[in-house]
Amino acid sequence: MTVEPLRTLAAAPAALRRDLRQLLSAARSAVQGPGRQRDLVVQSLKAALAAFLAYALAHALLDDEMTLMAPWVAVVLVQATVYQSVSQGARQAAAIALGTAAATGTALLLGNQLAALLLVLPGALLLGNLPRFGNQGIYLATSAIFALIGGPLTLEVSAQRVLAALIGAAVGMAVNAFVLPPRYLRDVRRAIRGATEETARLLRAMADGVADDEMDQRADDWVDASGRLPRLVQGVRSALEWDRESLRMNMRRRRSGAALPADYGAHDVVSVLGHVTDHTREIARTLVETGGYASEERALTPHLADSYQRLLRDVADAVELYGPLVTTADREVNHQLESAVERAESGHHRLRHLLTEAPPDAAGAEVLGPLLADVRRIVAQLDYREAGRG
């Protein structure tokens, strides 16, 4: 016996305790209030309800041995969105009907269910890869297996199997559509605010480092932190796409509202966040160069560093306020963002004036120019959204 399996076995108790702690934490979160954990509990209870209803209906209409298909299909079709339930349900029903029909016809033709299994299964697995079946193609093969190894096969038995699957599909889709159909508003708002808060946090960290003249020690950390920002923007894009899909065929559409206020389109928000995070990353990279600026006089002199610190903090305030604004359209937040943008613009003009009075050398200009340009581009993005609303 090798050492690695022994280590894995020894670590199992600790892993089990960790999983139990995570489970208890998720359970507490679900009880305490709305959130991802409660959504998962609701979906699980809906799936259980769908399975029970599908079994009860199939049991009342079909022979006992045929009822298995109904709850199985119902559980699978309580999907994350109503649209997924319907689209996956249609594909799954088609796959089950086709697989069962192929198995039944082949078995009756050959008079041998085992031979039919050997002949039908490879073809069912291949057909299941067709794009039209999506991720439901596997049911071509599984329905053929159930038909051929589940006892004597007749046309009536096969018809009841397909009917049981259709009952399960109908119940699963109905439960998902009519019992608290899922929405993902919180995921969108959490993703947007997470992106703006993380970007603002990095801008403030860079401001503190510039003021304390710690760029040599901390600039690499800023670059590493900035590398996480594109993933946050991608998270916003994914959350918006997921919520948009959750609106399709959703009866809660009007009651639960929109993920973003009417003045803000999903594409515009993602575009603004993308530009803001890109320019923040550029500032981090430029500060690495600033820290290594080869000159007796640093590119950011103490006087310039103090002005740039205040400028970055004002920009950070504006970036952080953008998240609450586009998720609530609150007037007070709007005024706060306008004030932060105005302060940032004033700080930018003040710093440009200082550079005009005491121009840096050529090497210093190569560093200071991008620092000012990227800040201006961030402010322009946030100010552009406000101008677009007017």
Q: Could you tell me the pLDDT band of residue 390, with boundaries at 50, 70 and 90?
A: very low
Q: Which residue has the higher pLDDT, 24 or 111?
A: 111
The closest of 165, 101, 94 to 132, measured between CA atoms, is: 94
The whole-angstrom distance between residue 93's C-alpha and the CA centroid of its chain comes to 28
Q: Could you tell me the pLDDT band of residue 388, with boundaries at 50, 70 and 90?
A: very low
- The rounded percent of the chain whose pLDDT value lies above 70 is 77
Q: Which residue has the higher pLDDT, 378 or 1?
A: 378
CA distances to 43, 279, 333, 339, 388 from 343, rounded to whole Å, are 47, 19, 15, 6, 20
* Residue 337 burial (C-beta neighbours within 10 Å; 0-12, 13-18, 19+): buried
Q: Could you tell me the pLDDT band of residue 12, with boundaries at 50, 70 and 90?
A: low
pLDDT score, position 369: 82
Residues listed for the chain = 390
pLDDT in tens, 304-320: 778 888 999 999 999 99
pLDDT score, position 227: 93
pLDDT score, position 287: 83
**Average pLDDT in the 20-25 region?**
68
Return mean pLDDT, the chain: 82
Contact 385, 329 (CB under 8 A): no
CB atoms within 10 A of CB 78: 24
pLDDT score, position 294: 39
Which residue type occupies 314?
D
Strands in 228-309 per DSSP E: none
**Average pLDDT in the 148-156 region?**
83
pLDDT in tens, 343-380: 999 988 988 887 777 676 666 667 778 888 999 999 99
Q: Which CATH class is domain 185-389?
A: mainly alpha
Burial state string for 104-124 with b = 16 or more CB within 10 A and e = fewer than 16: bebbeeeeebeebbebbbeeb
**Does the pLDDT of residue 385 top 50, yes or no?**
no
- The rounded percent of the chain whose pLDDT value lies above 90 is 35
**Average pLDDT in the 116-123 region?**
92
| Ranges of CATH 1.20.58.220 domains, the chain | 185-389
pLDDT in tens, 174-222: 998 888 887 666 678 889 999 999 999 999 999 988 866 566 677 788 8
pLDDT score, position 248: 77
pLDDT score, position 234: 93
Any idea what the Cα angle at residue 163 is, between residues 53 and 41, rounded to 5°?
30
Q: Which residue has the higher pLDDT, 247 or 153?
A: 153
Q: Which residue has the higher pLDDT, 59 or 267?
A: 59
pLDDT in tens, 238-289: 888 887 777 777 766 555 556 666 666 778 889 999 999 999 999 998 888 7
Q: Tell me, what DSSP letter sits at residue 358?
A: S
CA distances to 291, 311, 345, 346, 361 from 358, rounded to whole Å, are 20, 19, 20, 19, 10
**Average pLDDT in the 50-64 region?**
89
